[in-house]
Structure 1
């Protein structure tokens, strides 16, 4: 069993580019499907770093395994180990820290531009980022920033795109883990759920336009997040 744990919630939200970064760094990792009960009985004192991926469910859904996961995240928070949350994962971290997660009046989807919020540029989580960058989005819920956390990122459609809590936890509303294959798979299977009459949603052509270049830029954004996360796990 490895010391790096990745929590997933459905088959089409895998570690994605995070897995490639870990493979390149020659770091072993364990992937658990929390929705299938694979977190039950897991030794929560074993991991030295945890990543939480996305999923279509809401943290407010009446699913017993969500309570199990939130309890596990609170245990990891008490242990002060590095954690990074992606979309649903970021919302689960917010809930574990006592913040609300609410339904937005619209869905934010596609390649959306993010900016650091005022006072956030000194955060080590953002040291590799330009003043503005695009990240892939697909969410209808949004987290509030927990008490004591540092707001980091914002977009036109979602004020709270990321926060840091302490020096080892990063919660993100977007999907830095996306690969070209993942984007295409999502759009092949789920584009019927999109409504590009909403200004907050890109249409299919916009999402796929120059996709390899967009993913390469996103990989650079993600790699910086993941390198810092891994450096904290080594301390």
Structure 2
């Protein structure tokens, strides 16, 4: 069985809960640091690819030149029908690689927000066994449009495109499934003043309700995350 390739874009966004579940399931995985500038490995050597988040902007290839090569690599991966799951930045990269716009949004989503599944999302194997109304963790200022021919799987009033499928096995999510309470606390503590001001009350609200987030929301959120990871493993032929 070939391992899963995890693409990491930020030291502050490690595999986290995702890595925990994969280890519990005895699924081998390798983490590749995209920011190193090293050549991306041959995707056909892996059972699936999962791309994590990061603080970068997909559309700023001048500041982050490695994105150009990653998008080319993603386009090839899709043609090979290799299972792909992009989380937040990873979802934005998939959308951009497939020709869709990624841009700064007028409103940040930071914290736990509802994402009702579309009828297509309810029927999709990625969300099998999950209720139609999800409460998941967001941390993003950018949003993506849908690539042509892709299927919208989840939406909400803040960012209408919350999850999509392209082809049979390539998925982009606008939210995170890998975040643990420890990662969340670290993100809050590391926010620079500019981002605090830009995102406004949402960040302050998260800080004020830290105990509630950790004790209440993460328990239910990890139920969602675990089921989604298991479903993706099934889609990838690993379960």
TM-score of the two chains, using structure 2 as the length reference: 0.90
Deviation at 1:73, TM superposition (A): 1.0
Q: Which runs of 4+ in 1 moved over 4 A?
A: 195-201
Q: Helix, strand or coil for the counterpart of 2:123?
A: coil
- Is the contact made by 2:206 and 2:213 (CA closer than 8 Å) also made in structure 1? no
Aligned position for 2:79: 78
1:101-152 CA-to-partner distances (Å, cap 9, x unmatched) read 1111122111111111344321122222223222111111101111111101
Distance across 2 between alignment mates of 1:72 and 1:213 = 39
TM-superposed CA distance for 1:198, in Å, is: 4.7
Q: Which moved more, 1:201-210 or 1:150-159?
A: 201-210
- Cα displacement (A) at 1:191: 7.0
**1:44 paired residue number:** 43
Give the match's secondary structure for 1:167.
coil
Go from structure 1 to structure 2 and tell me whether the alpha carbon gap of 1:121 and 1:187 turns closer, same or farther (over 3 Å shift): same
Name 2:24's counterpart in structure 1: 24
Equivalence map 1:72-111=2 (5 Å): 72-111=73-112
The 5 Å alignment of 1:209-224 reads 209-224=212-227
Matched, 1:157 2:161: no
- 1:110–1:201 Cα contact (<8 Å) kept: no
Q: Cα deviation per residue 1:49-78 (whole Å; 9 max; x = unaligned)?
A: 000000111110122200111111112111
Q: SS at the partner of 2:53?
A: coil
Deviations 1:167-215 (A, max 9, x none): 2121100111111111111112227433464569844123542413311
Q: Which residue of 2 aligns with 1:230?
A: 233
> Is 1:9–1:54's contact at 8 Å kept on the other side of the alignment?
yes
Matched residues, number: 234
Superposition deviation, residue 220 in structure 1: 1.2
TM-score (norm 1): 0.91
CA distance in 2: counterparts of 1:41 and 1:151, whole angstroms: 28
Give me the whole-angstrom Cα distance separating, in 1, the residues matched to 2:201 and 2:156: 16
1:194 aligns with 2:196: yes
* Gap runs ≥5 in structure 1: none
**SS at 1:222 equivalent:** helix
Is contact 1:162–1:173 with CA below 8 Å preserved after alignment? yes
